[in-house]
Structure 1
Amino acid sequence: MTAAPAASEDDPLVLFSLAVTGDRKMLAMRRDVQEACRRLGVPEPETVRLATVVGEVGRSLLGARGLTGRLALVGGERPQITVVFGWSGLLRPPRRALEAARRLLHTCELEEHPFPRVVLGQPIAETYQSLDERAAGLREELMGLGGVSVGEELRSQNHDLLAALQQARAHQEELQRLNQELEETNQGVMALYAELSSELEATNSGVVALYAELEEKTRELSLLNEAKTRFWANVSHELRSPVNGVLGLTRLLLAPGADPLNDEQVQQVQMIASAGSTMLALVEELLDVAKAESGRLEPELVPVDLRMLLHQMRGTLSGTARPGASLVFPDDAPQQPVVTDEVMLTRILRNVLSNSLKFTENGEVVLRVERTEQGGRPWCVLTVTDTGIGIPVEEQARVFEEFYQVRGPHQRTHSGTGLGLPYARRLTELLGGRMMLDSTPGVGTRVVIEIPAGPHPATPAGGPAELPVRLDRLVIVDDDPVFRATLRPVLAELAREVVEVGDSSQAVVEIRRRRPDAVLLDLSMPPPDGYQLLARLAADPALNQVPVIVLTANDRSGLENSRLGHAQAVLGKTHLSAARLADVLAPVLGGRAARGGTEEG
């Protein structure tokens, strides 16, 4: 056995290195490994494991060319004692021996380069001495060991084996005891499981019954929701049509070409128009809330001139301010159009401004408008600030609940439905924006509305655009004389001759006789209704090329779309204009539309 000097700081500290040439050398190495482990404070079980694995692996390599064994100390976070067998040739330790070594030892590695070798190691106890000092002392002790006796080594191995057997038996007895305790525990667990299973089965029965009840309630709610949808559809037709008729008639009475009215009559008609507009706005808001809840309200994004929108709103709302309050609109509104839904934005501002005016006795309600950039895209920020009564902190979150009104003495003088702010916030969210509110009682309220402004479309120069087409003859089929009367001025801009048909049973005959450029067709009429007339026109070879625009006051979601395939478009009766009708007809009429020619005979 040759003692090796201490290596550099990064290398293992070699205790000895020897050539393993036979069983005696192998026995000596095993003994030295065992002795070194004990002197380094390695626990006895781990010492026996390392010595046993060294003996087993070393014997499997006896006869290999250049077989050497090296004992060393290796530093690091967890210092350990290692045994390294190195050799050359094709011989390798048995796989089972290596697998057993990996289970028993902290380190077991088979390396192939630069030459085959096996590294075996166990952790050592840490002490106040450095690794160099421990290695130096251990070398001297190992050098002082005499030769090895085979019989003595066999007795040592037997002793180790007996100790291991005793330890294994103690472990087995402990395991049996633990198994017995586990069996007793399992019996208790099984009893508890049986009890819990019984309780769970009873609970499941209750859950099944509850689930069945919930299913029934869900079915009832679904039926109620369908009934509500039908109710909104009926409200749409039964309320919006007469209200639109009232508004149309007031416009006709106040038109410049109408018979003159005295001042009192003008004031009365204007009051009728104002009340009708309020009623129409309330009906449309109720309908939009229902459509928004069911996901059927979709914004139509178009370029909107904010200055024009605010000018119209100033004229609409200025007269609603109280004697001690004023409504202030911005003089520097952005000139660039905002790409949004004009109707939704108008309703948002009208509701927020009306709410502020309602609760501001003295002072002012101020609207500010600015454009900003958020996340690389343009936004429009509208801020409404008032000096009204304010909202208590505990009520500020609830003012966005539908039909909720802040409690207080002001309710006696300020009536309302509680839909204004919830409706405005819902529309803001549909536009992709957000609405925020902060308020101080006795000081006032501030509402901030942020909506995406979209791209900046180019604004064409010049005055109002001309209609893309003008018709020679147009037929409108509608059984509501009030609606026909209100629509006459609009249709007069679109066509030189307008033929009104109030009896749907005469519609096909009149259309065949008149041969119009287009037909406007109401859906809700006594039989034959609009669906039936549309089918007859589609089936008639002489008439199926005439464009048909369907008009309806009903909710679009309730229409039978499968029966509307022959229609060029389906338009609501509210806010109809000649420009809108012309835009729809232009693509299909082309050269057949009159552009200033003479009227046909």
Structure 2
Amino acid sequence: MCQALELGEGKRVRLITLASEAGAELLGAAELSAEFVRTAGQPHRAAVRFLWKGDQAPGNDLLTASQRLLDLSVVDRGCLLLGQELSTPLTAGQASQRVDRELAGLRGPDMSEELRRQNTQLLKALQDERSRSDELERLNKELDETNAGVMALYSELSGELEETNRGVVALYADLEDKSRRLRLASAAKTRFWANVSHELRTPVNAVIALAQLLLDAGAEPLTPEQHQQVSLIAGSGNTLLALVEELLDTAKAESGRLEPQLVAADLRTVLHQLRGTLASTTAEGVTLEIADTAFPGPFVTDEVMLTRILRNVLSNGLKFTTEGSVRLTVSDERRADGSWAVFTVTDTGVGIPEDEIEQVFEEFYQVRGDHQRHVSGTGLGLPYARKLTELLGGRLTLTSRLGKGTRVVVELPAAPARSAGPLPQEPLLRNVVIIDDDPVFLRTLRPTLARLAEATTEVTHSVEALRTIRTTMPDAVLVDLAMPSPDGYQVLQQIAAVPGLAQVPVVVLTSMGESDIDRSRLGRARAVLGKTHLTAERLAEALGLRARDAGTAPGEPAGTDRQDPKDAKDTPAP
């Protein structure tokens, strides 16, 4: 009947449900009756009215629910009226006709058919529900089996990972032991070189001194043949003494005990001495050209080291040049970090194969070939010259073409930085953040940083760099350039983008060659330091800590950054 009166499905369900609940609660009341009515007036409503006698009444929960869910809910003594408003107003005649048609459709066998249909639908709904319940149970069972498999796999992987970790720890311990043995062997080699060099110097000096006494103008005259033989003895003795000195200096350089003595050098005198010393070693058909020039400005260096560098490079060129020339030129270059002296030695000798150019800087290595049979040497000349060049704060580079000659360039700062004295005993910084993915380098750098800072924070994954810096707010940041993305350049950009980090000094540490560094991307980095020969003093100077003792605020530039004599790759950032 509700459907005949066009009562909406939602309203119809609520009305039927609450009417059923009311009938259940009033069941048993005296003279209980229920009837479906249509209220007159506005608005039109379809309602169910319950009439009874006695004190029995619907419960408060039912009344509360009916007031909330129905448009009409009225209770009085012995009367309960529940109703919903009709969507379409109908006259009494229209409503009566529709209700009659609905009732006529429910009479006779059609009513039974409707009940059977509803029962069939109900059974089907129950079957569907049971099927869903069975499917849910099956899925839960499969999920339990999957979870059991995952837990078993997790246990297996955990065991394998633990076993792998034990292997890594054992391998690390083995590597640590081998590294320790290598350091001990290197130290033993250095001590051996130093001891042998010291032991050889005394007899060699004696041989040279005796030869000079025999050649002295006041000594008894020698026959021409004797004079030639003694001269050869003196020359060989000087050559041997030079080799001994090179061995001793190499040992000192490797142990960090060879320190340059910086003085104002007379470059003209150095070149004149080289010309006189090497003139007798020049082969027939070869011209030795040494520019007779004076450096335009003050030139501060170690004269002995400079002489040995140029002598070794020129001697090497003379040995392997059979015709043509060996030429030394000197030029002055003005750069952003000051004045530099550039010594260029070119020869027209046999040249060096391209794949062996770097190997000639290894101790005792010699390029093999027919030319080597007639040339004596130890393979120490170029490695020794490069070590001395680096100690003076410069760099030595070599280019060559087989059969076309060789070109060696020695670059030295005209006024290398002098030592600023020892650091104070107490750390100068509270905290330093170092961003580097090389665990070996970090391990070797820890003692150095311990002299500068109370605490050091190591970041091995560059993606965490900016967050770590913001969290710790360090007094200084050290950044490596060659790292997985983001690389050191990108980390520098990230730091520069944070206004709050503008006062934190940043220094780049790298093993890259100067030609490989993109200076346009270094941002506000204070300096670029090579990873070799890295000391607390050099870091302190790059960070401006020396100036802090003199009154400069932390993080404030202390002046022009200079190269340190310990490393040829150290250059100030732009």
Query: Could you say which structure has the greater relative contact order, defined with CA pairs below 8 angstroms and 6 or more residues apart?
Result: 1
TM-score for both structures, normalised by structure 1: 0.43
TM-score for both structures, normalised by structure 2: 0.45
